[in-house]
Amino acid sequence: MSLIAQEISVMLGRKQVLAGVSFAAEAGRLTAIVGPNGSGKTTLMRALTGDLPCNGRVTLGGREIATMTPEILARRRGVLQQATALSFPFTVAEVVRIGIETRGERADALVSAALAAVDLAGFSGRLYQHLSGGEQQRVQLARVLAQVWQPLDDEGARWLMLDEPVSSLDIAHQLTVMRLAADYARRGGGVIAVMHDLNLTALLADHVVLLAAGEVLAQGSPAEVFTDTLLSRAYGCNLQVNTAPRDGVWILPQVAGLTAA
Amino acid sequence: MATLSQAMPRLAGDRSQRARRTSAVLVVLLILIAFLSLGWGASGTSLPRAISDLLAGRELAVQDRVVLLDIRLPRLLMGMLVGASLAVSGALLQGLFRNPLADPGIVGVSSGATLGAILAIVLGASLPGPLAGLFGWYQVPIAAFTGSWITTMLLYRIATRDGRTSVGTMLLAGIALGAIFSAFAGVLILRANDSQLRDLTFWGLGSLAGANWPKLATAGPVMLAALAAAPLLARGLNALALGEAAAGHVGIRVQRVKNRAILVVAAGTGAAVAVSGGIGFVGIVVPHLLRLASGPDHRWLLVNSALLGAVMLLLADMISRTLITPAELPIGIVTAMIGGPFFLWILLRNRGVLDL
Amino acid sequence: MKPLALAILLAGAAMPAAAESHPEARRVLSIGGSLTEIVYALGEEGRLVGRDTTSNWPPEANSLPDIGYMRALSPEGVLSVAPDLILAEEGAGPPEAVAVLKSAGLPYVNVAEDYDAEGVLKKVDAVAETLGVPDKGKALHDRLAADLASVAERARAVGEPKRVLFVLSLQGGRVMAGGDGTAADGIIRLAGAQNALEGVKGYKPLTDEAIVKAAPDVILMMQRGDAEADADANGGSNHAAAKETALALPALAQTPAGRDGALVIMDGLKLLGFGPRTGEAALELHDLVYGAR
């Protein structure tokens, strides 16, 4: 049950934003798309969610997404975008409920469970507009989770597609959210996320796709992709990959006078 | 993670029970006001007396019959349908444009209807005999309805490219079109004589006094169809609140929702304005009040808007029939006089809720 | 048999409808300022139970219930004064409301409006006949006819008719004047003068050039409300003020009327109503235009 991108190319105006991007993301694993600003990460995500028509093919579980109706797609995958502002005074519960097809008590239970999962239990009665940016982002994640709650169903794995899911969150909540995503993958679902934070990616991703200037520079495990040469080439500055004494990897830019060594 | 099988207490933040209660209250209110409307009027015809006459097997006096069946009853039905249509159209457009200030005028319905009315009022007399006879008294409503349709379709075409409608473009094009129409209207007004100008002014102020069975028979079904179709868009509009992309992600066919919403608004508001002239504020005040009372969930908002819109217009109509009796105040004045300050008061009291 | 029946039918259709007479009607609703005036002039005001917004003369009429603007009638409002006869000027409406009133079995009499001497007399006759007071009607008719004849005589005696321009309003500095087919045009002719505005129908805003081309000798304006009382109370100062403002307008100031300061102001309903005071109004206008004798 994979998400396969084949030769994705996108022209926006006169700029070639993506050129022949191909990779495979497997269900049961957390795949991260990383790269510098302007590398085409968000455009790639839009092509994967089906929002952007593109040259090339995107298949989900063997089916081309271009042939899937919005209703069917909505059952196979949930999408979390960056910031969402609402113009009407919805409560948190009402927001999470959007996209849930079940009704009544089952829907209520689902809403509560989803909110609990993102550490917002008890927030269901609050007005969405009054929450902080980070809380709003977690409400959106709860909504997306509620949409595709079961990672596996009779048709196969379902997917979470996350576009910079932790950008506005503090570190504790960053970890909560990424652990949720990883857990979803562990239970059989597919997760693909556009990430800015290389450390978090290295910590939790199973598979990394490194984009630069609209092309795939490298893909593989974090250890394979996060090398000094590859990262420095991608980001255009001197980056050094280090290993912490305990589990984990962190990356520091090499700046004269600041490095320990 | 929490299991789903446990029985959960009612979810905080779920306002559907409150919304259902609101519906019930509104239905009762509507029935009450409908009876009041039917039973009271300047002419002193009394409903209880008429009913007792009928029950006793007596025939109603001609005047009573005319007042009840040819004046008050069509007026009551017209008021309910127009009020409901205007309120629901407002709610639909606000959901579509994701803005609580959107008003049916935005899709060009009002300016088109007004231009149609001006054309009919000023040029109608110069129509060749057979054509004039064809439309007879109903030149103005027919022209207004046609005008509103043409304008809405024009705006829709302008704003839709590659099968995708940009609501922003629609808004801006609507402003441009409105300016063009004002120019045309100005030229026609120059040609108008004194009586025509007065007629135009009164049309613009709105009135239910002209309600009769022929108008109900033609405009009624259109408004009813629009009212019936509106609640079907509820799920789509809720999702649209998240933005068009996100709405697509949860499985909504966004363009289809847009098409249908615009169609319903064009039909409902077009018919309403055609038979009752320019009545403002209902489309903005009613949905807003309901959002404050029981939330913006369109599954309840649309239905309740219809109910409250009907109630509000019937109330306004009663005021318009009472204030300067035996003359009548055009109903548009009443809705503006009440709607305006009331709306202001609501806004001031709830500044925190709506971040406009 | 058929052709005969058809002929009778056609003949019937060609004849003017016999005017209805309702001498028994005690609750008359009068719609239209001139009709209300005629009812008072006939001395039949005791039978009136209601009027419309344009019925402001005589002042007593204002105390009658007002059923609203005559072109925007509300059927139930009309019925609320419980009339047994409705007298309406041509143009009362909307047609749906009139239909409802007729369907309620109310006698509804439409009186035609023509802006000339014959038209006024016909109006008086129609109202008198409807109210069933032919004698009073004849008396009023004769009085009015005498006034009109007197004006006509004076008009004939005039050599070169003066050009009069009726200005309806000066809103925003724009001159709105009366052309062909307006009541203003009618009264100007009756008074033995010539409408300075030629080739224009209805009330229209004029460009400065059009005003200059019209070259009016006298400018005629109307005072809404109780002009005479106003003028008396302020020693005519209201008129003087109005004169100044109007003639100060550059376009008007350059006309012969502007140069001579020839501005005439008369009460609106009296001037344009085409009712019982029309003879009087025409005489007054004639005297003001040509100088009293």
What are the φ/ψ torsions at residue B254 (nearest 5 degrees)? -60, -45
Q: How far is the alpha carbon of B29 from chain C, nearest alpha carbon, in Å?
A: 24
Q: Is the dihedral of CA C175, C180, C181, C186 positive or negative?
A: positive
Which chains contact A through at least 3 pairs of Cβ atoms less than 8 Å apart? B
pLDDT attached to residue A245 = 61
Q: Please tell me the distance from the alpha carbon of residue B179 to that of residue C171, in angstroms, as a whole number.
A: 23
Measured distance CA(A215)–CA(A228) in Å, rounded: 19
Residue B230's CB is within 10 A of a number of other CB atoms, namely 26
pLDDT of residue A248: 58
For residue C252 the two structure tokens come to 């008007």
Residue keyed to tokens 């320019």? B278
- Which range is most confident: B293-297, C5-9, C198-202? B293-297
B interface test, pick of C31, C66, C79 with most B CB neighbours within 10 Å: C79
A116 CB neighbours in chain B (<8 A) are 1-2
| Residues B114 and B177 sit within 8 Å (Cβ to Cβ) | no
Mean model confidence pLDDT for chain C = 84
Indicate if the pLDDT at residue C27 is higher than 80: yes
Asked if B326 lies within 8 A of C78 by C-beta distance, the reply is yes
pLDDT band at C2 (very low <50, low <70, confident <90, very high): low
Choose the final residue of a domain: C146, C173, C197: C146
Could you tell me if C73 lies within 8 Å of chain B, comparing CB atoms? yes
Distance (Å, whole) CA A234 – CA A33: 13
Residue C241 falls within a domain, yes or no? yes
CA atoms of B135 and B149, how far apart (whole Å): 18
Strand partners, C205: C176
Residues of chain A below pLDDT 70: 244-261
pLDDT class of B313 with cuts at 50, 70, 90: very high
> Whole domain around residue C218: which residue ranges?
161-290
Q: Tokens for A77?
A: 């995958």
**B9, part of any domain:** no
The stretch C258-287 carries a mean pLDDT of: 88
Model confidence at C20, in pLDDT bands (50, 70, 90)?
Answer: confident
**Residue B211 Cα to chain centre, angstroms:** 15
Q: How confident is the model at residue C291 (pLDDT cuts 50, 70, 90)?
A: confident
Residue B314 lies in a domain: yes
Cβ contact B99–A109 (<8 Å): no
Crossing angle of the two packed helices B331-349 and B194-205, in degrees rounded to 10? 40
The chain B residues in contact with chain A (CB within 8 A) are: 1-8, 10-15, 98-100, 238-239, 241-243, 245-246, 248-253, 291-292, 295-297, 352-355
Size of interface A-B (CB pairs under 8 A): 115
CB contact under 8 A, C100 and B66: yes
User: Greater confidence, B3 or C204?
Assistant: C204
Q: Which residues of B touch A84 (CB under 8 A)?
A: 242-243, 246
Res. B129 pLDDT band, cuts 50 70 90? low
Q: What is the CATH number of the domain that holds C96?
A: 3.40.50.1980
B202 touches C: beta carbon within 8 Å? yes
Q: For residue B326, which residues of chain C lie inside 8 Å, CB to CB?
A: 50, 65-68, 74, 77-78, 80-81
Task: Judge if C17 and C80 occupy the same domain.
Answer: yes
Cα B147 from chain centroid (whole Å)? 17
pLDDT tens-digit profile of C227-252?
444 444 433 456 677 777 778 788 88
Residues of chain B with C-beta less than 8 angstroms from the C-beta of A127 = 353
State the pLDDT confidence band at B131, using cuts at 50, 70 and 90. Answer: low
- Entry pTM: 0.86
Copy the structure tokens of residue C184: 């203003």
B113 to chain A, closest Cα gap in Å? 29
Distance from CA of B9 to the nearest CA of A (A): 9
Count the domains in chain C: 2
Residue B302 has pLDDT above 90, yes or no: yes
Domain boundary among C88, C122, C146: C146
Task: Report the CATH number at residue B194.
Answer: 1.10.3470.10
Report whether pLDDT(C15) > 80: no
Q: From A145, which residue of chain B is nearest by alpha-carbon distance?
A: B250
Phi/psi for B14 (5° steps) reads -95, 110
pLDDT at B355 over 60: no
CA end-to-end span of chain C: 67
Q: What is the pLDDT of residues B153-200, one digit of tens each?
A: 898 899 998 888 888 898 889 889 888 998 998 888 887 877 888 888
C73, C79, C85, C91 alpha-carbon torsion, rounded to 10°: 10
Q: Which CATH class is domain A2-253?
A: alpha beta
Q: Is A116 helix (H, G, I), strand (E, B) or coil?
A: helix
Residue C6 falls within a domain, yes or no? no
Contact C136, C128 (CB under 8 A): yes
| Nearest-angstrom CA–CA distance, A180 and A78 | 14
Chain-wide mean pLDDT for chain B? 87
**DSSP classification of residue A127:** B
**Inter-residue contact C261 to C245 (CB < 8 Å):** no
Residues of chain C positioned with their CB less than 8 A from the CB of B325: 77, 80
B147 and B141 Cβ atoms separated by less than 8 Å: no
Cα(A83)–Cα(B205) distance, rounded to whole angstroms? Answer: 44
Instruction: Establish whether chain B is in contact with chain A, requiring a minimum of 3 CB pairs below 8 angstroms.
Output: yes
Determine contact, residues A26/A125, Cβ cutoff 8 Å: no
Domain limits for position B127: 29-347
User: What are the residues whose beta carbons fall under 8 Å from the beta carbon of A12, sequence distance 6 or more?
Assistant: A43
pLDDT value at residue C14: 42
Phi/psi at C222 (5° precision): -115, 150
Residue B231, pLDDT score: 96
Structure tokens, C256: 């012969």
B144 is written with which tokens?
């207004």
Compute CA distances C148 → B255, C40, C47, C145, C281, whole Å: 73, 20, 28, 5, 10
Q: What is the 3-state secondary structure (H, E, C) of chain C?
A: CHHHHHHHHHHHHHCCCCCCCCCCCCCEEEECHHHHHHHHHCCCHHHEEEECCCCCCCHHHHHCCECCCCCCCCHHHHHHCCCCEEEEECCCCCHHHHHHHHHCCCCEEEECCCCCHHHHHHHHHHHHHHHCCHHHHHHHHHHHHHHHHHHHHHHHHCCCCCEEEEEEECHHHCEEEECECCHHHHHHHHCCCEECCCCCECEEEECHHHHHHHCCCEEEEEECCCHHHHHHHCCCHHHHHHHHHHHHCHHHHCCHHHHHCCEEEEEHHHHHCCCCCHHHHHHHHHHHHHCCC
Per-residue pLDDT tens digits for A44-72 = 999 999 888 889 999 998 899 999 999 99
Last residue of one domain, picked from the residues C111, C146, C181: C146
Work out the pLDDT band at C1, boundaries 50, 70, 90. Answer: very low
Q: What is the pLDDT of residue B46?
A: 80
Q: Please enumerate in sequence order all residues whose Cβ is within 8 A of that of A260, keeping only pairs 6 or more positions apart, or say none.
A: none
C282 to chain B nearest CA, in Å?
Answer: 22
Q: How far apart are CA A202 and CA A223, in angstroms?
A: 8
Sign of CA dihedral B311, B313, B316, B322: negative
Query: If you measure CA to CA, which chain A residue comes closest to B1?
Result: A117
DSSP string, A26-70: ETTSEEEEE--TTSSHHHHHHHHHT-S--EEEEEETTEEGGGS-H
Residue C198 and residue C250 share a domain:
yes
The answer to whether residue C285 sits within a structural domain is yes
Distance of CA B286 to the CA centre of its chain: 10
For the question of an ipTM over 0.90, the answer is no
How do residues A119-154 score in pLDDT, each as one tens digit?
Answer: 999 999 999 999 988 899 999 999 999 999 999 988
Contact criterion met (CB < 8 Å) for C97 and B209? yes
Domain annotation covers residue C1: no
pLDDT of residue B344: 84
Cis-peptide into C59, omega within 30 deg: no
B63 neighbourhood in chain C, CB within 8 Å = 79, 104-105
Interface test with A, best of B242, B290, B291 (most A CBs within 10 A): B242
* In-domain check, residue B195: yes
Does a structural domain hold residue C217? yes
- Cα-flanking dihedrals φ and ψ of residue C192, to 5°? 85, 20
Q: Do C80 and B41 touch (CB under 8 A)?
A: yes
How close is the nearest chain A Cα to the Cα of B148, in Å?
28
Residue A172 confidence (pLDDT)? 85
CB contact under 8 A, B297 and A79: no
Nearest CA in chain B to A78: B249
Residues C36 and C135 in one domain: yes
Distance CA C45, CA C26 (A): 10
Query: CB under 8 Å to B80, separation ≥6 — which residues?
Result: B30, B34, B310, B313, B314
Task: For residues A137 and A170, give the distance between their C-alpha atoms in angstroms, rounded to a whole number.
Answer: 12
* Residue (of A137, A90, A129) closest to B95 by Cα position: A90
**Inside any domain, residue C36:** yes
B350, closest residue in chain A (CA to CA): A89
Q: Which residues in B lie closer than 8 A to residue A104 (C-beta atoms)?
A: none
pLDDT given for residue C227 in this prediction: 46
Spans of all domains in chain A: 2-253
Kind and range of the H or E run holding B199: helix B194-205
Residue owning tokens 């079940």: A102
Nearest to B250 among A50, A110, A147 (CB): A147
